């Protein structure tokens, strides 16, 4: 019987080095964020303000994505009307449309991550500062405000993530269609893409609706935070 292959010992130092690198990188990233928050606070911009700004940026990213996905859907539908002699140009436009859609989707997720990062720091700091109160009444008022803010935040981030998740199947379909047209620049491909695009209409409509609801949640969150809720 042949002996089972054993992992190379030479790979162990590399694995340990990689693990160490990732651990140090994570620590440095957290450290950089802490320094950033501290620096901003010295200039009068607190984590609460940064959170509101990032939600505003997240809302704008969702607005851009909503417009892009709606436009991309129309672009894919328009392929069926393209003259066969211009299929190569149509493919180039479709590829550009897909690339822009993918970029907008990534921007949305990046903004969501940045919102989650500062919110985590904000609530951690808030909970710690509650212990510094000497007045039970003021402490309770602050704790109630923190809990209310957390409820608003959880509702917001839930809406943003739910809407962002809806981008994935649509983006996957756009990718499939782009690849299919690339590999089949003929009339049969155009007919197949037209059927597929029409079948996407419901998913795109749901995506646009979810994006709109999430944008409304962001507007509500921003308004209440700026009002001092």
How does pLDDT run along the chain (229 residues), one tens digit per residue? 444 444 444 445 545 454 444 443 444 445 577 788 878 778 778 889 999 999 999 999 999 999 999 999 998 888 877 777 778 888 899 999 999 999 999 999 999 999 999 999 999 999 999 999 999 999 999 999 999 999 999 999 999 999 999 999 999 999 998 988 888 877 777 777 777 888 889 999 999 999 999 999 999 999 999 987 6
Of 181, 185, 213, nearest in space to 196 by CA:
181
Q: Give residue 19's pLDDT.
A: 44
Domain-located, residue 5: no
Indicate if 26 and 95 belong to the same structural domain: no
Q: Is 5 left (phi over 0), alpha (psi -120 to 50) or beta?
A: beta
Domain-located, residue 7: no
Indicate if 130 and 32 belong to the same structural domain: no
Indicate if 212 and 149 belong to the same structural domain: yes
User: Are the C-beta atoms of 44 and 186 separated by less than 8 Å?
Assistant: no
Distance of CA 19 to the CA centre of its chain: 27
Domain-located, residue 8: no
Domain-located, residue 121: yes
Domain-located, residue 149: yes
> CB neighbours (10 Å) of residue 42?
8
- The tokens for 17 are 């080095």
Q: Give residue 21's pLDDT.
A: 43
Q: Give residue 228's pLDDT.
A: 78
Indicate if 51 and 79 belong to the same structural domain: yes
Indicate if 58 and 132 belong to the same structural domain: yes
The pTM of the full predicted model, rounded to 2 decimals, is: 0.80
Cα 30 to Cα 37: distance, rounded to the nearest angstrom? 11
Indicate if 150 and 219 belong to the same structural domain: yes
Indicate if 28 and 126 belong to the same structural domain: no
Q: Containing domain of residue 24, as a range?
A: 14-44
Domain-located, residue 106: yes
Total domains in the chain come to 2
Indicate if 22 and 84 belong to the same structural domain: no
Indicate if 70 and 27 belong to the same structural domain: no
Cα 56 to Cα 215: distance, rounded to the nearest angstrom? 9
């Amino acid at each position: 019987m042949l002996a089972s292959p054993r992992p190379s010992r030479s790979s162990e130092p590399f694995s340990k080095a990689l693990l160490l690198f990732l651990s140090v990188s994570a620590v440095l990233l957290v450290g950089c964020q802490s320094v950033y928050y501290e620096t901003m606070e010295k200039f009068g911009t607190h984590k609460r303000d940064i959170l509101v700004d990032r939600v505003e940026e997240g809302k704008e990213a969702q607005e851009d994505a909503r417009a892009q996905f709606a436009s991309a859907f129309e672009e894919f539908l328009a392929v069926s009307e393209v003259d066969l002699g211009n299929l190569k140009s149509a493919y180039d436009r479709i590829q550009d449309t897909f690339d822009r859609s993918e970029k907008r989707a990534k921007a949305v997720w990046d903004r969501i991550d940045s919102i989650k990062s500062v919110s985590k720091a904000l609530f951690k700091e808030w909970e710690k500062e509650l212990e510094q109160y000497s007045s039970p009444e003021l402490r309770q008022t602050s704790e109630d405000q923190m809990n209310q803010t957390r409820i608003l935040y959880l509702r917001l981030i839930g809406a943003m993530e739910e809407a962002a998740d809806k981008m994935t199947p649509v983006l996957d379909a756009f990718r499939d269609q782009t690849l299919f047209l690339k590999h089949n620049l003929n009339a049969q491909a155009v007919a197949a893409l037209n059927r597929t695009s029409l079948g996407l209409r419901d998913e795109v409509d749901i995506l646009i609706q979810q994006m709109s609801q999430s944008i409304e949640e962001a507007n509500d969150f921003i308004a209440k935070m700026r009002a001092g809720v």
